[in-house]
Every structure is written in structure tokens, then in C-alpha cells.
Amino acid sequence: MSAPDIFKDIAKQKTLEQQGFVVIPNFLNTEEINLMDQTFEKLHKELPSSGFFAGSYSSDFEYKKKVSEEIKVVYNRAYETHFKDYTPFGGAFLFKMPSPDSDLFIHQDWTVVDESKDIALNIWVPLCDISMENGPLMVLPGSHYDNFPTLRAPTMRYFFDQDYERAIRQLEPILVNAGTAVVLNQSLVHYSPPNRSGKIRKAITAGIKTKDAQMIFHFKDPNKDENVLEKFEMDDDFFIHFENFFEDIYKRPAVGKSVGFIDYTPPSLIGKELEKTLKEMKTSAGFSYIPEEKPPVEETSEETKEEEKTLPFWKIYTPLNILREIKLRITGS
């Protein structure tokens, strides 16, 4: 059984099913953009000097609730224009300070509905024009649930975890103007490099799902080796109930209702197997697969080779290197 259509427009629905994402220009109008920008300024009198931040990280429940409700109100016109048979859930500001540590790691969003019969979408809208310099949203076309079914939760690894480089190489940057929506299937692989523009980059994320679909959450005990998940039924606003986000998401939920356990082994692909899967994903989505380039042969000492083997991925394949590679592909410079 597949999820019912959620777009009113048949062409957008087909694009979502093929690519896993849809770009909608002028999703918010100028008045709505300005209103959300003003709301951001009112609620963020003090800003950090560096980093990436999401409203969900905050421990202030009232702040998270206020923002979530405000976004639903402002988005309502656009929701009614583009979607049908849907229920909105949650919303938060996302902002990147201009700093090297403002990247958002490559990931997939959590499974929050039964994706075999329902769908959940992440609607990302920037409040400024997006360029390669200010940290664009980047996606892996065709990596959504319909093409590669997975369950996802904070305590489970992604299917590409063992071989990040191959997945990152296939990402496509989405360069859009303020107010444009990038509508993502929650399961789509995505990433965002650092903001190096010198100015803050503001955006909004909000969710919609199949009308009245039950919200869910999976928990895998990180202290146990067996691949068993505990499934919870959640309220629609469960995202804003994490008091200490970076600790609580890795714990057994304190909210929701446990509805039992399931056996599940997360897929883990590396090397040629992952390369084959990524190629199938992108080509099925109508995008070109980027063949792997063989590195130039250089003379290196045995000591250097041994040192490189022990380096973690994040030191070898830095966000800056990723950004340079993507920019080169787009501009040729």
C-alpha cells in the first residue's frame, strides 16, 4: 500500500514520487516573508557568534510552541493552495551564523509516520536568497522511502554511514530565492554546508503529513546489540517536548505510548554496493550520476599512508572541500 496523494497538482505529486522533493517558487509572498523575518528578530534578540541552530534545540518550551503555532498560521494560505488531505505538524526557525562550523551533517529525518501507507513532508523555506556561499540545502535525489525503504531514528545509523564520501559526492545543491519552498520527503538524504557569506542565513522548517496519520517514533537501545526497535505512538507536537534535545533524543522517550517491539536490521552499504544503489537512486529520479574520479597518483611515505588510514572522515572530507567540489561542478570554477 502506498501513501495517498498529498499535492493538489498532479505534476508536483509525480515529481515528489520520482525525486523525493519538489521546489515551489513563491510559496511565501513578500508580506509573509517579512512577517516571519520580523518574528525571528523579535524572538532572537541575542545570537551566537557561530554555528548552526534549529528551534527544536531550545529548552524553552513556550518559545518552541509559539514559533510552531505562528508558522502554521503564516503557512496556512500556501498549505491550502498546494496540498490536500493533510495535517500540519510543527515548525521551527533554522539559522546559520557565518562560520566554518555552521554546516548540518548529511542525514535523513526520523521516521514519524508509517511510510508504507502515509507520508510526512519537511517544508524548508529560506528567508533570504540562497547561494553556494551561504550554505544551501543539498539533496540526494531518489533516496526517499519509495526507492529505498528504511526506518530512521536518532539511535540508528544511516544506510550510507560507512561510506559518507560516496553519498556526499552525489548531492545536488538547491539554489532558490527567499520564499521558495523545497518540499522534502522526510526520508530524503540531505545536507547543508557552512555559511561563508558573512551574513546570517535564516530559514524555516515545517511539517505536514497525510491527514490524521498517527505520529510515531522508534527507539533502539544503544546499550544493546540486538536489532530490536521499540515503537511509540506520539502526539503531533512531540518534537517540541525534548527539554535537552541532544541528550533526550537518544533516550527512551518520556512521552508517547509504547505499542510494542519489532525486529529491524538497518541496511549498511559500502563501496561498490553503495555506489550501485546511489546510481540507481539518482538516475531513477532523472538526475545524472557523478562517476567517481580516481585520485592522482602521488608519492607518499609509508608513515603518511598509515596516518591517513586512522584519520576520521570529517578530517579528510571537510565541509569546505565538499563545497569546493560542488561549486566546481556547477560553475566550472
CA 235 to chain centre: 21
The predicted model scores a pTM of 0.87
pLDDT at 331 over 90: no
As a whole number, mean pLDDT of residues 295-309 equals 45
Place of cell 512531540: 238
Q: Are 112 and 216 in contact (CB under 8 A)?
A: yes
pLDDT at 275 over 80: yes
pLDDT class of 1 with cuts at 50, 70, 90: low
Among 19-33, 58-72, 87-101, 290-304, name the one with the lowest average pLDDT.
290-304
- CA atoms in the 13 A half-sphere facing the CB of 194: 15
Look up residue 297 and give its three cell numbers.
Answer: 597518483
Question: What pLDDT is stored for residue 6 in this prediction?
Answer: 98
Listed residue (105, 97, 52) closest to 312, CA to CA: 105
CA 146 to chain centre: 17
Q: Are 131 and 175 in contact (CB under 8 A)?
A: yes
Among 64-78, 98-112, 164-178, 239-253, name the one with the lowest average pLDDT.
239-253
Phi and psi (nearest 5°) for 258?
Answer: -70, 130
For 179, left (φ over 0), alpha (ψ -120 to 50), or beta?
left
Question: What pLDDT is stored for residue 330 in this prediction?
Answer: 39
Phi and psi (nearest 5°) for 173?
Answer: -75, 140
pLDDT at 306 over 70: no
What is the Cα–Cα distance from 156 to 259, expressed in whole angstroms? 19
pLDDT at 314 over 80: no
The domains found in the chain, sorted by start residue, are 10-263 (2.60.120.620)
pLDDT at 320 over 60: no
Handedness of CA 158, 162, 165, 170 (dihedral sign): negative
Place of cell 533524543: 249
Question: What pLDDT is stored for residue 140 in this prediction?
Answer: 98
What is the Cα–Cα distance from 219 to 154, expressed in whole angstroms? 8
What pairs with residue 321 in β-bridges? Answer: none
